Structure 1
Amino acid sequence: MSYELDGDANVTCERNTSAEDKAFWNWNNETQAFCQKLSCPKLPVPEGGALVCSTAIGNEVCTMSCSNEHQVAKGTSITYICSDEQIWIQGIPPNCTDKVHPRNAIGEEEFFLYYEGNCSDLTTIETIKSHFIETIRRVESTEGWSNLCPSNCTIEDVVVDCGSLNGKRRKRSTETDAFHKIFKRSTEPVKITFNFILNFPWQTDKGLWGNDDIYAEMSDFMSNRVEEGMVDFPNVTTGSMQFGWLEYNCPLGQLPTYNDDGTCVGCPPGQYLDNDDCLDCSKGYYQDKEYQINCEKCPSNQSTESRRSMSKDDCQGNSLLQKCMKIKRCCVCK
């Protein structure tokens, strides 16, 4: 913490003429000097948000927050501390960015079948796959499904993988008793795995955990239909169904936060998203929009004074060159 003296550094002790046994401190200009704590320049309040500052712990500390319609951009600090050199250590807080929700919720699932037959027969595998897809379509048309599904819930990207069990005993998780019966038969069964995606529209008003509840209820509904034998047909017996975590995809230039709101977040103006990181625009480039994956290049013969430029107005030409062009004379560049 830094201070500077406000007033004269010298003070004299003088005799009180009206009271011989007393004296008083005489400040120049009759103004008592004091130590003034130095502070950083006032921070601008971010658009769409607010700043709360305090000096309760010594150095000034400001905390940034955003309104319900906005959020703090990726990689942005919410705390700003004034150093002893009167510099904001974290820089200047950027404006809040728009809060964006995903369009769809996605859940990856696996479904196991146990088949007694030739797994290398592609025609058979395609038949099993077609039967599974047709069964899922029947599930999607039932009343129970429509009561759970917000709208346009679909099963997508069905991938079939066929492989031998190799005589190894599987862990008991959600397998049905039918598997253990089939496992004891003389003909060794093979496991057919279906990987697929359960997709439904994201419910903005329910947040992450509300959408996760919808996913869990839909998954349980499917699992119950499987246990009822809805997918069974000759030489095929249902094994088990497993469900992954609820996920969601974000628009280009944004990443999922998986916070309680279930939002997507990207980089503020002056930066761009590279894999999972926000990087500053280089000198000679700018970005005036949020949630971008690249920066815009300044016009020919122009550049920016520093990195992380947020406006095309930051692009400036060579002042000497501009002057020479204006007066239409040749100049010597230095």
Structure 2
Amino acid sequence: MPEHHPPSPEIPEGFVALLKVEGGEADHHEIRAECLVAVLSGLQRLAYLLAMSESRQELGERLKPSRAMRQQYALRCGIPGPGSYALPLDVGSPDLISGGRDSLDRIQDIWTALSGHDSDALNRLLPPALMQRALREIQKFLPKDPEGLRFSLSTRSSPEPAVLTWRVSRFISERLAPTLSEDTIMTVTGELLRIDFAARQVAILYPPTRREIVCTYLPEIEDSIIESRKEPIQVTGRFVLDDEGSPSKLMDVSRIEPVDFSPMVVTELEALPVRMKTPLELVPVLDEESQQYLCVADADLGLDAFALTRDHLFDEVQEQLCMLWREYALASDEELDDAARLLKARLHTRMEESRAEA
């Protein structure tokens, strides 16, 4: 017998869950199509993975649910309603509704564990064979830095929403990182030349040396390779150096993805009670010389940051903004020369101390 739950005032009749996108542009009840497609596709693939694991089907390198499974666990979306961007969800055909509810409840449990950075709960919810595949699917649709967006999922059986923000992406990256010492891990950027699925290898052109690097990847990231046929790409793995200290080979590649050149949005400082009066948008570019470093700059604020990865670039931006605020915005005019006083004024024009709500 299907389990019956009391009606939820937010979830429309005939649906069992509610997906919400809040913050940023979603507060105006709209969302970019690519963002909506990404989160719904991620939920759908996660539902298939859970179903395959539950039925003890082998999880191959490619996700290939059967026709029956596609029918039973296919997401159905209702008409978006008010509340930022709220989308009612259901799974499966009516005669299989109990299984659909179970899968959405399990997904909500996983989201709850992720939102609390609870590794122990994740280990209880996801068997080892499923863990990496599930986390990679979720990571694909998460914001990579504070764009103001957050995703929440509530169900009839668990009305308290599980909320995912950009910080969860960092937590997942740590969980997916290979168990190798930090000094053996390297990220390189290059042009994708070819893919050999049989040998589980990709070849990239490494701009600093203009030489080809062969990268042997872990089987669980094959789906991401197919989705990353863009130039340039970033590859993270265990490296082998040549006599000149340049990478010649990458082994145990754990991540392959296109370089993300979308605007990096900063709304507040994490280490200080300071926020931007208007969100700061920084567009990353690759450095001209090596084409390995992502760079952003804002001459008005005296900001000039670079790093090998987007995550590290965001951290560098945060550190520089904190330094600028401490060294210039908080300094007395008597301590500063004319140029520094001008920078102080610009900082106060663009940033302000945030006050705790009463």
TM-score by length of 1: 0.22
More strand by share: 1
Bigger relative contact order (CA 8 A; separation at least 6)? 1
TM-score by length of 2: 0.21
